[in-house]
Each structure stands twice: as C-alpha cells, then as structure tokens.
Amino acid sequence: MTDVFNGKIAIVTGGTSGIGYAVSEELLKRGATVWVIGSRKESVEKAKVSLAAYTKAKFAAADVTVAEDVKRVIDTCVKEDTRIDYLFNNAGILKANPIEESTLDDWKEIVDINLWGVIHGVHYALPVMLAQKGGHIVNTSSGDGLFGMPYVAMYVTTKFAIVGLTESLYYEYEPRNIAFTVFCPGNVATPIFKGVVDTPKDVIPVEEAVRALLDGVEKKERLVVVPESIKTLVEEMNRNPAYKDQVLRDIVKNSQQS
C-alpha cells in the first residue's frame, strides 16, 4: 500500500453499499477525503453511522440520473475542498429481464442509472479537472461489459457503452493529465449474492476487488478486471473467437436445460 490517496479529494457515487461503500472506506483508510454519495437519504444516513470513525468522510444524497443533482455534488465538493482528484462513477443497477419481457420503462431505468449516471459525472467533473490540470475518473462497468453475456442484454448494453466511453476518453485526455480507468468486476461478494444458494465458485471478497481496483488506479491503468478467472476468460475469448462462441452457446444451452 502506498500513500497515493493520502490527502486527496474523492467522490464515490453508489457509495453507500456494495463495491462503492468498500471503495469509500478503503480510500478513507488511506487518508483521502471522501464524498460518499447515495441515491436515498436513508442509505446516506446509515453510511454516516457506519463510517462515523472517519473524520474525512462527507456525505450527500444525489440521484445520478438527474443532471442537476450531480452538478450540485460536484459544485459543493469544489466549494468546500477546492478540487476533485478522483471521481468514482460507481452507481448502477442490474436487470436480468428477458428482452421479450422487458418494457421501455425497464430500458429507460437501466440506461438512466448505469449510463447517464456516468455521463453526468464525466460532464461535470471533467471541466474541474481540466482547470486544475489533473484528475482521475473511474467508471464502473462489469465483466459483462467485455463480452455479450446472454440473458442480460439491457445490462450488457449499458456496460459495453461504459467500456467504450472510458477507452475513448483515456486516450483523448491522457496528454492533458486526466486519467480514466474502467473497472470490470465479475463475481464479487456484495449484497447482490445475499440469499443466493448457488453462489458462483469464483466469487471474491469485496475487499479483494477494491484493493485490485485501487492498485490499478494508482498505476493509471485503463482497464481493471477482477477476479482473475474473468480476466483469463476474456483474454482467451479475445485470442480465440471460436472458444468465445462456444462459451456463449453453452451458457444458453445450460440455461435452457436448467
């Protein structure tokens, strides 16, 4: 562990639960001032209690689908702390509806949260970072943002978009000292697995996933993938299109048999 984050200012959306909460706590442990952002006042108040030991923790409720909410958080952070060193666009939801059972409202909800939430964060934080001549934006995608996983097409659509957006901006803004990282977690032990009987064998503790993410952010890596099994799978798929085709066909076949 290094002191890279010590004294830095960070904003974490979706910061009151799951990966976002773990990122917030780890950054606080490493000496950062962290704005922990949740979508509901109730979740923010709960996080205030559980993170009360950290004097550098700050909190706000904001709906990332609402541009004005995101702007308010960015403006407040800059007013109070004068800068933003890191923005973690982490807020997101999972919808596993079959497409034929999905409504346009389902589409709008997941696109608004997963994609527009990231766009809003980038839109309002980037001018701040350009003005201060440095900064780092981290966008959470998914392992499913790296290949077309069947049965979660709506989710995959948003997560693919985040990967493409981040890769484009990584190269565009690298010469201007603005770093971009896209985080693609696979099976991580967050509340999403609570009550699930058949927990995936490769699920990893959220703390392990967050350490890998922050290690990658320290190195200004463009892409961070966890766990190692997902990283290996994606690398093999990229090397061997026939293998990728078979893997995805087997997912459909096994799902139909279960």
Which CATH number does the domain housing residue 120 bear? 3.40.50.720
d(CA 90, CA 1): 22
Neighbours of 22 (CB within 10 A): 24
Percentage of the chain modeled with pLDDT above 70: 95
Beta-bridged to residue 33, according to DSSP, are 9
Cα distances from 232 to residues 2, 143, 146, 222, 237, in angstroms, run 27, 11, 12, 17, 9
Domain that holds residue 37: 9-231
Asked whether residue 128 is domain-assigned, the answer is yes
- 3-state helix/strand/coil string of 156-177: HHHHHHHHHHHHHHHHHHHHHC
Question: Is residue 249 in a domain?
Answer: no
Is 155 an annotated catalytic residue? yes
Provide DSSP, 36-103.
EEESSHHHHHHHHHHTTT-TTEEEEE--TTSHHHHHHHHHHHHHHHS--SEEEE---------GGG--
What is the overall mean pLDDT for the chain?
A: 94
Both structure tokens of 9: 């200012």
Q: Which amino acid is at 50?
A: S
pLDDT exceeding 90 applies to what percent of the chain? 90
- pLDDT for 1: 64
Distance CA 1, CA 218 (A): 10
Span 25-36, average pLDDT? 98
Establish if 236 belongs to a structural domain. no
**CA end-to-end span of the chain, whole Å?**
44
Whether residue 198 has pLDDT greater than 80: no
User: How far is the C-alpha of 102 from the C-alpha of 206, rounded, in Å?
Assistant: 30
Nearest Cα neighbor of 11 from 29, 31, 32 is 32
199-253 per-position pLDDT tens digit: 567 789 999 999 999 999 999 999 999 999 999 999 999 999 999 999 999 999 9
What residues have CB less than 8 Å from 163, skipping those under 6 apart? 141, 145, 146, 182, 184, 223
190 falls in which pLDDT band (50, 70, 90)? confident
- The predicted structure's pLDDT at residue 191: 63
Tell whether the model's pLDDT for residue 258 goes beyond 90.
Answer: no
pLDDT at 208: 95
From the list 155, 170, 171, 243, the catalytic residue is 155
d(CA 201, CA 3): 34
pTM of the model: 0.94
Total tally of structural domains belonging to the chain:
1
Residue 243 lies in a domain: no
Residue 239 lies in a domain: no
- The residues facing 88 across adjacent strands are 12, 138
Question: Among 177, 153, 178, 150, which residue's Cα sits nearest to residue 166?
Answer: 178
Q: What φ, ψ does residue 2 adopt, rounded to 5°?
A: -110, 180
Average pLDDT of the residues in 170-174: 98
Within-domain flag for 241: no
Bridge partner list, 183: 140, 224
